[in-house]
Amino acid sequence: MQAENTPKQFFQINKLSRENLMKQNALVLWFTGLSGSGKSTIADLVENEFHRRGVLTYSLDGDNIRNGINKDLGFSEKDRSENIRRIGEIAHLFCEAGIVVLASFISPFQKDRKIASYIVGDENFYEIYVNTPIEVCEERDIKGLYKKARSGEIINFTGVSSPYEKPLKPYLELDTIKKTKEECSMLVVESMIGKIRK
């Protein structure tokens, strides 16, 4: 809902102007999956390959955002929804700037991912499901979060004490059991590069 007495300001230079200047179409690649599924790792490999090919990108990551603009939010369902709404708004701004955004967030609820897609613009939003079984995520547990969640130190932890709703129709589904992180990243790159290039 638009705030009262704050009409939207329009400028002469718009998204299309910036895309034409940079010779690329701005999109948001939204990587979703459990903690430890490999979202950020794969997104990082994708960004490196895009950079090598001359695509201007920016990565948004859950941990980094929560240490900055969203550090006032907890992990209740309400706060998780607000976290994703704000991220959707940030991704939208970068997309309007003509940049390809790689957003890596657990984003466990379908309704929140749908809101993020609406904010960004459905035509610019590509949901990528990093499908890694929770057993594998727990084996990795690099940050020790699953162990803390199982012991009750962390509440509302996705996959343990809070649900993860799998995407119904993601643009891409990456099976990290059958494919390496490098293979997954190249699948994303090859699927998206034709949509990005002008």
Exactly one of 40, 107, 162, 185 is catalytic; name it.
Answer: 107
Q: What whole-number distance in Å separates Cα of residue 174 and Cα of residue 195?
A: 19
Q: Is 107 a catalytic residue?
A: yes
Q: What whole-number distance in Å separates Cα of residue 189 and Cα of residue 42?
A: 10
With residue 127 as reference, give the H or E element that holds it: strand 125-131
**Structural domain spans, the chain:** 15-196
Question: For the chain, what is the radius of gyration of the CA atoms?
Answer: 17
pLDDT digits (tens, 9 = 90+) for 152-177: 888 888 878 888 999 999 999 999 99
Domain 15-196, CATH: 3.40.50.300
Q: What whole-number distance in Å separates Cα of residue 23 and Cα of residue 45?
A: 22
pLDDT digits (tens, 9 = 90+) for 91-144: 999 999 999 999 999 999 999 999 999 999 999 999 999 999 999 988 887 778
Q: What whole-number distance in Å separates Cα of residue 19 and Cα of residue 151?
A: 49
pLDDT digits (tens, 9 = 90+) for 88-101: 999 999 999 999 99
| 2 has a pLDDT exceeding 70 | no
